Amino acid sequence: MKPEPAAAPEPPPASPAVAAEIFGDRLPVAVRYAELLADSGVVRGLIGPRETPRLWDRHILNCAVLTELLESSATVTDVGSGAGLPGLVVAIRRPDLEVTLVEPLLRRVTWLTEVIEELELPNVTVARGRAEELWDKLPPSDVVTSRAVSALDNLAKWSVPLLRPGGVWLPMKGASVGEEIEQSMTVLRAVGVDRIDVVECGVGLLAEPTTVARLQVGTPRRVRGRSGAKSKAKAQRARGKARP
């Protein structure tokens, strides 16, 4: 008995009217990106099929408004780019930016490379590897971004060393970012963060503006090792084994 063929991916919803306001003459490129996300992006496991109906509101527009914080002709490194969120969207919206997508998984790197070629984006490159493996391989950036990658203290250790002195780190973290910042202050100071504020992008455009932490870095410093729940759990297990 032959297995039933997999269901075809659902097409993405039509771009909302606000997308034209945000992307301007770049809207056709953004629409094609949404089509690729909903098709090969789902088939190859870069985005879940349940995300297709909300590609624009939850993902594309949510990332596009990050460009409000980016100066003209800046260099941007996107850590853990995955399906290109936010880095690829930022590059589509702002062709004046030079964007590097950092992604360790080969299947994602392959997909991103294919999409860049399809969309004809000369301002985007892909670097395969973990952020900490690329500290000495990539030129320092004006801005480093990330979205839904890891806890803030881990991200700080991986991301800040990719910045030039005086650069800006813009992790997209959502409404809980204030609490994460408070819990991560020791690490943030250690890596060189000297000014922090939390901003909302897309106010007046999006029903739910995008919350972004804006962290100014003086002199980036490297701090090795992981933080967060996994490290704490590992330490607790180690203490348990040490008990008589």
Contact in structure between 94 and 143 (CB atoms under 8 Å): no
Give one DSSP letter per residue of 176-234, joined into a string. THHHHHHHTHHHHHHHTEEEEEEEEESTTTSSSPEEEEEEEESS-----S--SHHHHHH
Tell me the residue length of the chain.
244
Q: What are phi and psi of 22, to 5 degrees?
A: -80, -45
Look up residue 178 and give its two tokens: 């204030």
Phi-psi region of 224 (alpha: psi -120 to 50; beta: other; left: phi over 0): beta
Does the annotation flag 131 for ligand binding? yes
* Whole-number pLDDT of residue 239: 34
Contact in structure between 123 and 60 (CB atoms under 8 Å): no
Rounded Cα gap, residues 46 and 219, in angstroms? 35
Rounded Cα gap, residues 76 and 195, in angstroms? 19
Does the annotation flag 147 for ligand binding? yes
* Whole-number pLDDT of residue 14: 84
Neighbouring C-beta atoms of residue 183, cutoff 10 Å: 15
Rounded Cα gap, residues 37 and 60, in angstroms? 10
* Whole-number pLDDT of residue 225: 67
* Whole-number pLDDT of residue 74: 98
* Whole-number pLDDT of residue 229: 42
> What is the pTM for the complete model shown?
0.88
Structural domains of the chain, ranges and CATH numbers in brackets: 68-239 (3.40.50.150)
- Provide the residue-wise pLDDT of the chain in tens; the chain has 244 residues: 554 445 567 778 888 999 999 999 999 999 999 999 999 999 999 999 999 999 999 999 999 999 999 999 999 999 999 999 999 999 999 999 999 999 999 999 999 999 999 999 999 999 999 999 999 999 999 999 999 778 899 999 999 999 999 999 999 988 788 899 999 999 999 999 999 999 999 999 999 999 999 999 999 999 976 544 444 443 343 333 333 3
